[in-house]
Structure 1
Amino acid sequence: MQIELIDTFLDLCETQSFNQTAERLGITQSTVSGRIKTLERIVGVRLFLRSRSGTALTTEGLRFEPHARSLRHDWVTALNAARDTAMTGVTIRIGLQHDLVGLEIKRLIGRLRDILPDTAFLFEADYSGQICADLVSGQQDIAVLYSPIIQPDLHFETLGEVHYVMVSSESDSLEEIDKQSYILANYSASFAHAHAALLPEFRHVSLSIGQNAAMVDLLTSLSGSAYVLAHSAQALVASGICQIVQDAPAISQPVFVGMNVRNRHRAAYRKLTRALHDQYGAETSAPRVRTKASHV
């Protein structure tokens, strides 16, 4: 069976539109229709019903969908295994939320090598939406992310949380922060909701950044105020670029691990999950970031 048939079927399950699936896959609508007809002929049942109100799965299509997801996952896993001929042992592909790349990743790599010494690790940094898509397709095996997208193929667990604090090149008092130079952080949906609830007066600004490293670079090159990860705040304070805004609340960001549901009970994945709990579970209390005048 051509894997393109499965990819087209699964995309159509999501969009429920032949036209939208054609646009997303970069093919014509007639090609989408042809692939679905071919797949229906192979499995021997009708998978979709088309009407003026849209496209919907038949009962047989609903039964076929989870198996189609498994087929695609197995196909990508097989491709990855075949392409790992230059490496010894097994390769595990790990998706990592952008902001977590600089958070003691050396310690994490050392821990993973200790528990799975015959395994090669491939880290890929991205945002949560793409990470979840890669987990579903099998492009990644396990991931650490901020915003899980619940899907029948995926299993998520809470690891712990990281903390963001407000720093400023202008003042250490929230009342004196210039809203015109405030840079709104948009690290995740949960962060955005917490920020809006805690600081509604800072919602409407002219500049927003969605990555901690980019925010640090911007604060370093320009004056202003923004939320950054606690360890980045410490570095900015130590370098004399910024100071902690003392009365601004810290914002906690939950961290999750995600994987295909079929892997959740496998020994190697349980070892990986325990290591990730050790890595991110310690970040549970509110951070203490030293100010310039602090001697503790």
Structure 2
Amino acid sequence: MQIELIDTFLDLIETRSFNRSAERLGLTQSTISGRVVALEQALGARLFTRSRAGTQLTTEGLKFEPHARLLRQEWMMARRAVTDSGTAALTLRIGIQNDLVPAHLGALIAAFRALLPQAALYVEPDYSTQMCADLVTGALDFAILFTPKPQPDLYFDSLPDIPYRLISTDTANLSAITPERYVCANFSPAFETAHRQHLPHLSAAPLSVGQSSAVALLLTHLGGSGYVMESHARDLVAAGGFQMVTDAPVIRQPVYAAMHLRNRTGTTHKRMAEAARRRLQAGGAR
């Protein structure tokens, strides 16, 4: 069976539209239709019904969906199993939230290498949405991320959260900070919600960015105030030029270990999640 048929089937479940799936996959609508027909012929069952309300799964389609997800995952694992990885016993692809890279990447990978000395590791810094998508398809085996995206194929394990502190080139007092001299951090929906609750008057600042290192870079060049990861904040204050805004709330960012649902009880993935938990605790998280 061609894996493209499975990919098309699963994409249609999300879009409920032949036109939308054609756009997302970069194909013509006739190609999408042809793939569905080929899959239905191979299975001997109709998988979708089409109406003005959109494309809906039939009873047979609903039954086939979990098998399709497993087939896609198995295919990706099979492709990677035959890929040359030198003398390594296995290859693991690991995603990590971009914002965690400067403070935690080195220690995390050192911990994983000590834990899995026979494994070849491929590491990809990225954002939560893409990492969740890659875990679903099997392009990633394990990820550490900020925002879990609910998917029937994914499992999330809470890790120690990360504290962020407000620093400033101008003042140590929260009341003196104005939106015009503020870089609004937007690291995740959870962080944005907490920020809006604590500091509604600064949430509409004209300058916003989604990475701690980018906030620090803008503050270094432009001056002003903004939230950065606590470890980074202490380094910047110690180096001079910045003050800790001591009366500002500490905002904590939730962190999660993410993996495919089928790996949630696997020894390797459980040990990796525990290693990540220890590292974040040692790195100054909660």
Distance 1:279 1:66 in 2: 35
Q: Which has the higher helix share?
A: 2
Aligned residue number for residue 169 of structure 2 = 169
Aligned residue number for residue 149 of structure 1 = 149
1:103 counterpart SS class? helix
1:102 counterpart SS class? helix
For structure 1, the 5+ residue unaligned runs are 286-296
- Give the TM-score taking structure 1 as reference length: 0.93
1:67 counterpart SS class? helix
Aligned residue number for residue 115 of structure 1 = 115
Distance 1:136 1:14 in 2: 13
Distance 1:203 1:106 in 2: 33
Does residue 98 of the first structure (1) align with residue 102 of the second (2)?
A: no
**Counterpart contact for 2:161–2:252, Cα < 8 Å:** yes
CA RMSD of aligned residues (A): 1.2
Per-residue deviation, 1:117: 1.0
Mapping 1:185-204, distance limit 5 Å: 185-204=185-204
Aligned residue number for residue 70 of structure 1 = 70
Per-residue deviation, 1:88: 2.1
Does residue 211 of the first structure (1) align with residue 218 of the second (2)?
A: no
For structure 2, the 5+ residue unaligned runs are none
For residue 130 of structure 1, what is the amino acid of its counterpart?
A: Q
Runs of at least 4 residues off by over 3 Å: 84-87, 281-285
Quick one: structure 1 residues 284 and 236, their matched pair in 2 at CA, closer, same or farther if it must change by over 3 Å?
closer
Distance 1:238 1:87 in 2: 45
Per-residue deviation, 1:104: 3.1
- Give the TM-score taking structure 2 as reference length: 0.96
Aligned residue number for residue 84 of structure 2 = 84
Per-residue deviation, residues 8-53 of structure 1 (Å, max 9, x unmatched): 1101000111111000000111111111111111111111110011
**Counterpart contact for 1:84–1:91, Cα < 8 Å:** no
Aligned residue number for residue 250 of structure 1 = 250
Per-residue deviation, 1:87: 4.9
Does residue 32 of the first structure (1) align with residue 42 of the second (2)?
A: no
2:151 counterpart SS class? coil
Per-residue deviation, 1:86: 3.4
For residue 160 of structure 1, what is the amino acid of its counterpart?
A: P
Q: How many residues align?
A: 285
Distance 2:61 2:247 in 1: 56
Distance 1:48 1:81 in 2: 33
Per-residue deviation, 1:284: 4.4
For residue 38 of structure 2, what is the amino acid of its counterpart?
A: T
